[in-house]
Copies of this chain bind each other. A is one copy, B any other.
Amino acid sequence: MKQSKLFTQAIKTLPKDEDSYNAQILIQAGFIDKIGAGIYNLLPLGKIVIDKISSIIREEMNKVDGQEILMSALSPKDVWLKTNRWESFDALFKLKGSDKRDYALGASHEEIVVPILKKYINSYKDLPLSVYQIQTKFRNEKRAKAGLIRGREFLMKDMYSFHENSQDLDNYYDKVKDAYFQIFDRLNLKADTYLTYASGGDFSKFSHEFQTVCQSGEDLIYVCSKCQVAINQEIIEEQKVCPVCEKSEFKQKKAVEVANIFKLGTRFSEPFKLSYSDSEGQIKPVIMGCYGIGISRLMATIVENSHDEKGIIWPESVAPFKVHLISIGQNEKAQKLYDHLKQLQIDVLYDDRDMSAGNKFSEADLIACPYRLVVSEKTIEKDLIEVKKRADKESKLISQEEVLKLLK
């Protein structure tokens, strides 16, 4: 894409009405825009990053046989009454339809997905199965804070699985756990992310959060000094030992809950009478699991954990473009290189604007594509191209062939 065709540009100073680094820098670099407390718009660069994160999640969910659907945000009051969550669900947005009925805006979708699956699950032959969606969620937070980490409207992937029995749920639950770590690995967050034991409800002793250690995290986790797991605040108050090794040496860390998985058991299948007939014709309740992951929150966490004094350092997997090609002065060579990179299907942002080199460089640092290529009179003279990786301090001059080899 030509940068002259991009309507956003970097803002000189950090916005004043934001106290979180992630929202400040994403606004400054032109990825997002703030419309109200905890409500953000995705601008073109932000949309690309969110789409890349979503694609990675979609690929991993498809690998564990998740079937993608898209449920409504509006849901009628009666389904929430059935599960006793109309009053108890934290931060449910409620609204009145002109048909005089009450609706909630989806903050989670157990109440929607179970009635759908009830129409399709009859026999043990229909199980197991798993459905997911990538969708905007709404939460009426009293105090939206931490930028994209806790918003009133945000993008989430939520998956729900359906099983004959708890062993089958257990197996699938472990598969999704692995898929989640695969996602964090691809987002370059794996090293900072701990499987964190949390309370499990009626069906299971524990549920699991995925907590990414982060200075601006709202949660406190306790990382076992022996195992690579952590426990959350509630668990440490209850039992004070690691559920894996039973030692009680922990390091307290601030963290962001980027995902969670939960064995629901029959918590939602019972109120909706979601059952199946087993191979002997006996009617049994369906056993469920649920698996959430915060997409806008992941973008914010990447930004919080991967930046320097100049701005964000995107991992290549989610960077808005792989390459930022900068032309200093009007020159044909940059245009030709742009055409060539596009032909090779390399993802490139081409700064073709009439603007000072200094401004172009500082904006490139903010947008933070992994590779910055500069073509100027100086480089043309030597028949070389200046290459700098976003995370590196130094640039180097190399030939066009070497550039192409590097970007392959």
Contact = CB atoms under 8 A, between A and B. Distances in A.
Interface of A: 5-9, 11, 33, 35-37, 39-44, 47, 50, 65, 67-76, 79, 91, 93-95, 97-99, 101, 103, 105, 112, 115-117, 119-121, 126, 129, 131, 136, 138, 140-143, 152-153
Given A7-B120, A35-B75, A41-B116, 16 more contacts: A7-B126, A35-B76, A35-B79, A35-B112, A39-B75, A41-B70, A41-B72, A44-B67, A47-B68, A47-B69, A73-B136, A74-B138, A74-B152, A93-B95, A97-B140, A97-B152
A79 B141 CA distance: 21
Interface SS, A side: mixed
Number of this chain's copies in the assembly equals: 2
Contact of A67 (B7, B37, B65, B120): B7
17 contacts: A7-B129, A8-B120, A9-B120, A33-B116, A35-B72, A35-B75, A36-B75, A39-B74, A39-B75, A41-B72, A41-B116, A47-B70, A95-B105, A97-B152, A98-B141, A99-B142, A99-B143
- Identify the interface centre among A7, A98, A141, A152: most chain B CB within 10 Å of its CB: A7
Contact of A70 (B7, B50, B141): B50
B67 A6 contact: yes
A11 B39 CA distance: 41
Nearest to A91: B98
A40 B129 CA distance: 21
A72 B91 CA distance: 18
Contacts of A11: 119
Contacts of A129: 7
Nearest to A8: B120
Nearest to A27: B119
Given A35-B115, A97-B152, A44 B72 contact: no
Contacts of A65: 5
B5 A67 contact: yes
A115 B43 CA distance: 13
A68 B91 CA distance: 30
Nearest to A76: B36
A72 to B, nearest CB: 5
A131 B74 contact: no
